[in-house]
Every structure is written in C-alpha cells, then in structure tokens.
Amino acid sequence: MKTIHVSTTINGDPAEFICTPDETLLDVLRNRLGLTGAKEGCGTGDCGACSVTVNGRLVCSCLVLGAEAQDAEISTIEGMADADTLHPLQRAFIEHAALQCGICTPGILVAAKALLEKNPDPSDEELRYWLAGNLCRCTGYDKIIRAVQAAAAEMRGA
Amino acid sequence: MALDSYQKRTFKQVGTRPNRPDGVDKVTGRAMYGADATAPGMLHAKVLRSPHAHARIVSIDTAAAEALPGVKAVVTAADFGVPEDAFLRDVQDHCMAREKALYDGHAVAAVAATTLAAAKAALKLIKVQYEVLPHVTDADEAMKPGAPVVQAGRAYENVPAGMSENVTHHCEFGHGDLDAGFAKADHIIERHFKTAATHQGYIEPNACLASVTSDGKAELWVCTQGQFFYRTLCAAILGMEASQLRVTASEIGGGFGGKTMVYMEPVALALSRKAGRPVKLVLTRDEVFRATGPTVSSSMDVKIGMTKDGRITAGQAVLRYSGGAFPNTTVDMGAQAAFAAYDLDAVRTFGWNVMTNRPKESAYRAPGAPLSIYGVESVVDELCQHFGLDPLKVRLLNAATEGTKSSYGPTFPAIGLKATLEAALAHPHYSAPLGTNQGRGVSCGFWFNFGGNTCVSLSVNTDGTVGVTEGNPDIGGSRASISLMAAEELGIPYEKIRTIVADTSSLGYNDVTDGSRVTFAVGLATIKAARDAIRKMCSRAAKIWGIDEEAVEWVDGAAVPAGPNAGKFPPMTLAEIAAVSAETGGPISGHYEVNADGAGVSFGVHLCDIEVDPETGASKVLRYTVFQDAGKAVHPSYVEGQMQGGAVQGIGWALNEEYIYGADGKLQNPGFLDYRIPVSSDLPMIDTVILEIPNPGHPYGVRGVGETGIVPPLAATANAVSRAVGVRMTELPMSPPKLLKALEAKG
C-alpha cells in the first residue's frame, strides 16, 4: 500500500510522519510517533480511551485517519502538563483518587479539558453527558466527576 | 492467638489519603501498559478464531500463510504438546483449540509477521476444514439428556450417573433439618432465577510482548493480575524451566479477575520461539469478548420459609452455573456464599456445573457469589413484602454474627454484618421519600476474602529512605496502601517510601492479585518485613551503644534504649542507623514470606433507589449507598473506590450487561456498543459508608474490600425495580425490552 507523507503539529511542536491510507491517527500516534498515552480500548469509537483533540475538537483518534492530520493541530495527553507543572485536571485526578487502573485516564482528562474550554462551569449533569463516551470500569465515575468539578472550580478562580 | 494478630492501636499514617506513587505517570500518559512496550526486531501477531460454536477441526493448511512475505511463524495446536494434567490441558486448549473448536472465537491458529497488515493477510490464507457439530449455549438446555456434548468424559466423580455428559460437577453445603424448618414457616416462597453471562469489561484489551531466545531464555511483558501464576502456566505449557522465563507485569488496565488466566500468552511465546524474534500480541475488543473472561451464567431455584414476624426458618438453593466449554467449580463459591449473611437452623445449597459452547469462564470479582446471593436476597425481599415487614430489620433479625455457624460450615469470628445493617438503617437514605414509579431495594453481600502465598522484601537505603518490593500487580492503588503500612510500622513519612511490583526473577512466588488479598496479605507481609528490618536496626544500634540488642526498642522511627537499665543514649533514627550501616554489618533489609490465612470475611449492605420509565422500560438509578466493613481502611479513598466501582459493575450486571447468543451459537454483541457497561450519564454519585470492625487476623485489623462491593447490587437493583413496578423480576439483566415485556404482561 502506498504511503502518505503528513506534516502536522502535535502538542504545539511540528511533526512529520508517513502512514498508509488506512492507518488511524491512533496507530500513528502510538506506533510511529511513540505517543502511547492514548490507548486503544475498542477501536470502534465506543470507549474514548484514545481521545485527542484535532483543531480543538474532541475526537476518538481510532476513528480518524492519520492522513487527516495534515496541517492540523493535534493535542494529546502528553501535551497537557506544562513541562513539570501538571494541569489542574491532572492534579485533581491524583488528589481525588479519580483513577484506579488508569487506562481510561488519559482519554478522560483530554475530554474533560475540552469541555472546560467550552464550558468552564458545567453542571454535574452536563459533565456526565459530556463524559458518557469515555468508559471507566474501575471507579463508578463518582470520583472522576468530583475531580473534574474541583479542577473546574480552581480554573475559574485562577 | 498468634503474636502477629490484631492489636488495637492509634494510627498516625494508616487511614490518611496521600497521593498514589503511580499517579503522575498515569495522568501524563507515561505509565506503560500491556500494549505500550516494544522490542528490537519485534513482530506482530494475530490469532485466527473459529467462526463456529462447535466444530471438529479436520485439517489446517498453513502453507500459503507461511509463504506470504513478512510472515515469520505460524502456530497451531500441533506446535504444543498435550499436557497430562487436566487443568493445564484445559488452559492450553482454551488458548489454542486441539481437535475441536469449542466456542465461537476459539483460537485455531496464530501468525507472527513483520507488520500487523501482513499478519492479518496471512490469517486469510490459512485453510481450516471444519466439520460443524451441533452446539448448546444455554445451561438448562445443556443439562437435558440428548443435548450436544461439549466435551465427553469430563464429569467429576461427584456427579451422579445418568446425567448429561455436560454436567461436570456437583456440590452440596448446609446443615439442619430442611423439612422441619419449612414446616415452621408461616409462608414459603420459591422462585426460579436466570442470569446471563457477563464480562469483566476491563478497558485494556489483553496484551503481551514475548521474547524467547535461542538459548532457551524468555521474557514476557504482560498485563496480568499475577505474573508468577502466568509464569507457572506458560512455563509448563512451553516446557520451560521457571527460572528461564521472566514475567514482568505491566501496569494493568483493569482485570477484576479476568486477568488471572492466560489466554494468548503461551501462543505469543510459541510464536517467538518459532520465529526467533520478539512477538507482540494485542487482542481486539471483539476478541476480548469472544475469547476471554466471561462469568458463569446461572439458572437457580431458591426456596425460603419465614414466620410472620420475619424469622427465616429454612433456606434452600439449587444453582446451575455454566462457565463455558470446560469444567470448573465456581458454583462451589456460589453455593457456600448464598446464605452466608443469615444465622439459620436449616439451610442447604446444591450446585451443578454445566458445560456449554461458550468461552471458558474466568473469575470476576467475588466469582459465583453475586448470582446465588441475588436469588436469596430477592426471595427474602419478596417475603418481607408478603408480610409487610421492613427488609433491613428482617435482615438484622436473622443476621449472622460472631459465633454463628455459617451456612457453609465454619463458625464466624468477629464480623461486621450487624453493624453494617444498623448503619444502613440509621442512614438518611433509608428514610428518604420515594416518588411515583420509584422503588428502593436492599441487599446484603458477602465474600470470603483470601490470604495466600506472599513474599515481601524491604530495603533500608543509606539515605534514610526505604524501598518495598512486592509481587502483586497494583489494580486499585495498592502501592499507596502498602507504602502507608510500611511507613506506619517503620515510623517514617509515607513520602520516604517507594513500593514497586517485582518481576518473577526478583522475588519469591506471590499468588495472583485476587480474592481481595493484596492489602490484607501483602500488607501483613510488609508489616512483618518492616519488623524484621526494625529488629536488625535495633541490633545495629545496640552494637553502636555496646549494649544487648534485647535492650533496644523501636519508637517513632528510631531505636531507643528500652528502659533506664539499658543505658542513656539519645534515639538513633532510621536515617542515622542506615547512614552508618556499612560500618555496623552491611546493608539492612527486611523480608517476610507467608502463606497467609486469617483473611477475615467481608459483609456489605447496599441501598438502591430506582425510577422505571413505564413507557420505555428504562431504569434510572436515582440514589445509591454502599455500606461495607473494611476492618481498617488503610487508604480510605481507595477503599471508597473499590466500593463504588464494585457497585457500578453490579448495577451494569443487573440492568444491561449480557452475553447474547444467536441460534447459530455465535456471540451477537462482542463490542462496547452492544454490550453496554454503565456510562457516567447512567449514574448518580455512589455514596459510601466505611465500617471498621477489625479483622482479628491482621496486625492492623485490615479486611480485603475489593470484591464484596459487586455482590449486593444485583439484588439491591432487582428489588428496587421490582418494588417500583410491582412485578417481581427474576431474570438478569433487567434491560429495557425485558422490563417492558414484564410491565405489559402485568397489564
């Protein structure tokens, strides 16, 4: 299969890769660029573990082709902290014990950040519906909701 | 009572909520899970799976696949031996079908190639000739005479003659005179229940990276709940010596019991051995559903008699569990647990295991118990409705307590059931008003808990910090709990300790992370390893002071002379002793090995409020509260997390999750879209109340908390739904179509 050369921006830095036409953005991130923070839980867009943003829009990277990254701005979990300073969401997840196994955590953090950028003060209901595409099997979501709300409050105050 | 048993104490660090040591790695995407590792020259593997529920494998032709450019190895059952041991043979046959494919999705061949695309293309070139056989996926059908036989000649000796060959195991527990008990009852209710098989639903698909070299050494990187058990199984299947196979547990993306068993790891090792290169094998979600995990399904008859003032006079349960195409004994645990919450004069449970053409069951959080307890707690609820009695007060009236002869034999030591029931009764949730189409359900839950083989090493570093090496994968924050217990015992800050999970070459054997055993057993071994190190540090201080080591004791992280006769010396801290260890006898470390017992049983009580939409049959959980005895909550946030997570898995089991088989015996819903686990918008907050009734068998009173939480939700949810709609629901899941049908039948 003929490969495609793609120039893109990932977490603010220029990046280039080649991929086959049927290769997903998730495969490219994980297998060609070494960004294994996004996880493949299903490969069908049902679990949200592979969540990233493309030009600010929250997507399942398993449902996006690598070739679609041309000239786009991609943000992944690896770009969420500012060097060694964690994002308030990341800090809140640790402090509120909002993760157990942690496999869904990168996707949920990326999704929650995307929500708070649109809506800095979501209700629990809005938050629960926004995160309904991100499956977590360990926590029952309780501590995740609390952690996102705590981070949102801190970010509104900041 | 042993010297290491529970002693009342005031804790300084245990019971606090510090940040977990693996937190930053997990929120930054740095944590390495099963599919995240690579190796030089690594190949990618794919597995070919049976499209038939039951078929004889007539022949497999791999020549065309092997000839495909990029393909480096193809394996089938012919590449493995035939283990003599029946258990091991079943494990291997489950990983790679031999002679017969026993279920839809059963592995029949595997390929390793330079690219995943080449491996996938090669699968299409493998020619398998099947002779399709009649199949059976329902346990009741499989028990009937004349049902298709899944495997012949597998019944244990305890199965009476003349039954279907699919019946492999029978068990019976209980005591007292059932007939006399039922004769005393004012009312008897007998109900038939049925529950579907469900999957653990871990979000991380099973994944491994195997590397076998030509000198017979091997490495296996794998997401597992038990690297040592995986080593035992893989080494036996591959004919390797344990010392030559090093298994490293990756971070694990959920297991819940499902990652206590090998599925494709021996296949990856066989491919690597044949190809002479590292092989990565990652399952797809479809494969996870079709060929790993699931729980047993059940078909049950429960009969209970009660007096009009709420005393249970007799209880009986007949359980028919099916754990797929291989024999298993999970029904034992269901039969033992069914009536564990009750103090009964007459109780009897009968269990049967039945083979069906479904994947081999794996453990799922308190395996076997949620089903039988669902049946019992549903009938108790219906009896309470019949007499107009309060369901919590009836449970209190009949509750097992210290000294009760349990329904499965042993007499209970100190247990927390009554305190847990009283906490539920006093909680505002229980008296909150309910609206139209709403119901409140109550259920008790029970789990045995387990101790098991455990080994911990603790090293005192010369800078005054401490490393703890343990052998159990951390699936819910256990490294934090272990560090807390080491900090408590040593008397140094939590932050000075780092706990890591060792590979199989770095520590003695540790049983799997299962049975809610880690905080209990690894905690116990950590405390004892710390005490071992403390003895050595006291000895070093004694040497420095020139006094007997018996004259030194450990207080608040320092050696001090034990009383005025020992001499006057200022305390020597752990850091001070460690700094000069090279001059006093060399490195200081503590060890402890044990096959731990005394795990201490665990009880929980759940309250569930549900509203049912009569138009759609959809159930919405409005409020949910979990009450559970933790003995001592070492890190309360992670105890709450276990209670909440278990409750929500149980809610999913009750309301939506099920393996759906078509008439062709194929699994119809092998994906998260159609196998619907709870999502955040389905749920309210899950409130938790932790009770602390110390476990007499642990130095800090700890009981395992991981499994009990999944036991009560099935009945708590079913009782809430049944009360909301006025129809007794006796089948799980109570998915909207089923509930709507029940509502329409009611009229």
* DSSP assignments along B603-646, one per residue: EEEEEEEEEE-TTT--EEEEEEEEEEE-SS-SSHHHHHHHHHHH
Q: Is residue B373 part of a domain?
A: yes
A88-157 fold? DNA polymerase; domain 1 (1.10.150)
- Residues B280-296, buried b or exposed e (16+ Cβ, 10 A)? bbbbbbbbbbbbbbbbb
**Do residues B473 and B483 lie in contact, with contact meaning Cβ atoms separated by under 8 Å?**
no
**Do residues B341 and B444 lie in contact, with contact meaning Cβ atoms separated by under 8 Å?**
yes
Range of the domain at B510: 23-31+451-596
Residues B600, B515: Cα–Cα separation, whole Å: 11
Give me the pLDDT at residue B2, please: 47
Q: Is A139's CB within 8 Å of B205's CB?
A: no
Q: What are B705-726's pLDDT values in tens digits?
A: 999 999 999 999 999 999 999 9
- Nearest Cα to B297, choosing from B374, B407, B224, B349? B374
Q: Is residue B4 part of a domain?
A: no
Question: Rounded to whole angstroms, what are the CA distances from A71 to A22, A26, A54?
Answer: 18, 17, 10
Q: Is residue B225 part of a domain?
A: yes
Q: Is residue B265 part of a domain?
A: yes
Same domain, B411 and B487: no
Show which of residues 119-158 on chain A sit within 8 Å of chain B, judged by CB atoms. 125, 127-129, 131-146
DSSP letter at A85 equals: B
Q: Is residue B476 part of a domain?
A: yes
**Best mutation target, B17, B203, B280, to test chain A (most A CBs within 10 A):** B203
Residue B465 carries which side chain, given as an amino acid letter? Answer: T
**Do residues B629 and B414 lie in contact, with contact meaning Cβ atoms separated by under 8 Å?**
no
Give yes or no for A39 touching B (CB within 8 A). yes
Contacts of A103 in chain B (CB under 8 A): 33, 202-204, 251, 253-254
Q: Is residue B90 part of a domain?
A: yes
Give yes or no for A81 touching B (CB within 8 A). yes
CA distance A7 to chain B (A): 23
Give me the pLDDT at residue B649, please: 98
How many domains does chain B contain in total?
3
Same domain, B429 and B465: no
Same domain, B623 and B502: no
Same domain, B263 and B310: no
Same domain, B94 and B236: yes
Q: Is A43's CB within 8 Å of B17's CB?
A: no
**Do residues B587 and B511 lie in contact, with contact meaning Cβ atoms separated by under 8 Å?**
no
Q: Is A101's CB within 8 Å of B23's CB?
A: no
SS (HEC) of B106-121: CEEEEEEECCHHHHHH
DSSP strand E in B196-292: where? 207-212, 218-222, 245-249, 279-282
What's the token pair of residue A122? 């979501």
The parts of chain A modelled with pLDDT lower than 50 are: none
Residues B393, B71: Cα–Cα separation, whole Å: 67
Cis peptide before B733 (omega within 30 of 0): yes
Q: Is residue B154 part of a domain?
A: no
Chain A residue at shortest CA distance from B650: A140
B504 class by beta-carbon count within 10 Å (0-12 exposed, 13-18 middle, 19+ buried): buried
Same domain, B308 and B323: yes
Same domain, B462 and B321: no
Helices (H), B656-735: 713-725
The parts of chain B modelled with pLDDT lower than 70 are: 1-4
Q: Is A101's CB within 8 Å of B253's CB?
A: yes
Domains A4-79 and A88-157 share a fold: no
Q: Is B641's CB within 8 Å of A78's CB?
A: no
- Nearest Cα to B638, choosing from A8, A142, A148? A142
Chain B residue at shortest CA distance from A94: B23
**Best mutation target, A76, A109, A137, to test chain B (most B CBs within 10 A):** A137
Give me the pLDDT at residue B3, please: 43
Q: Is A101's CB within 8 Å of B29's CB?
A: no
Give me the pLDDT at residue B564, please: 81
Same domain, B587 and B709: no
Q: Is A77's CB within 8 Å of B28's CB?
A: yes
Chain B residue at shortest CA distance from A42: B285
Helices (H), B546-624: 574-579, 581-584
Give yes or no for A61 touching B (CB within 8 A). no
Q: B602 forms bridges with which residues in the sheet?
A: B447
Same domain, B433 and B491: no
Give me the pLDDT at residue B566, please: 84
Give me the pLDDT at residue B4, please: 59
CA distance B20 to chain A (A): 7
Same domain, B380 and B471: no
User: Which of B268, B291, B314 lies at the terminal end of a domain, its last residue?
Assistant: B291
Q: Is A94's CB within 8 Å of B19's CB?
A: yes
Side-chain half-sphere CA neighbours of B167 within 13 A: 20
Give yes or no for A16 touching B (CB within 8 A). no
Could you report the predicted ipTM of this complex, rounded to two decimals?
0.98
Residue B576 neighbours by CB under 8 Å, 6+ apart: B464, B558
Give yes or no for B20 touching A (CB within 8 A). yes
Q: What are B86-135's pLDDT values in tens digits?
A: 999 999 999 999 999 999 999 999 999 999 999 999 999 999 999 999 99
Give yes or no for B434 touching A (CB within 8 A). no
Scan for tokens 């029952």, then name that residue.
A140
Q: Is residue B78 part of a domain?
A: yes
Same domain, B309 and B440: yes
- Closest partner residue to A132 (CB to CB) among B202, B638, B680 is B680
Question: Rounded to whole angstroms, what are the CA distances from B692 to B208, B424, B639?
Answer: 39, 14, 11
CA angle B652, B658, B662 (to 5 degrees): 160
Q: Where are the domains of chain A?
A: 4-79, 88-157
Q: What are B374-429's pLDDT values in tens digits?
A: 999 999 999 999 999 999 999 999 999 999 999 999 999 989 999 999 999 999 99
CA distance A81 to chain B (A): 7
- Nearest Cα to B316, choosing from B334, B301, B329, B306? B301
Same domain, B568 and B606: no
- Nearest Cα to B642, choosing from B447, B501, B371, B456? B447
Give me the pLDDT at residue B507, please: 97
**Pairing state of beta strands A57-60 and B218-222?**
unpaired
Give yes or no for B494 touching A (CB within 8 A). no
Residues B199, B676: Cα–Cα separation, whole Å: 10
CATH of the domain at B731: 3.30.365.10
A14 class by beta-carbon count within 10 Å (0-12 exposed, 13-18 middle, 19+ buried): exposed
The domain defined by A4-79 carries CATH number 3.30.1330.10? no
User: Which of B541, B568, B596 lies at the terminal end of a domain, its last residue?
Assistant: B596
DSSP letter at B175 equals: E
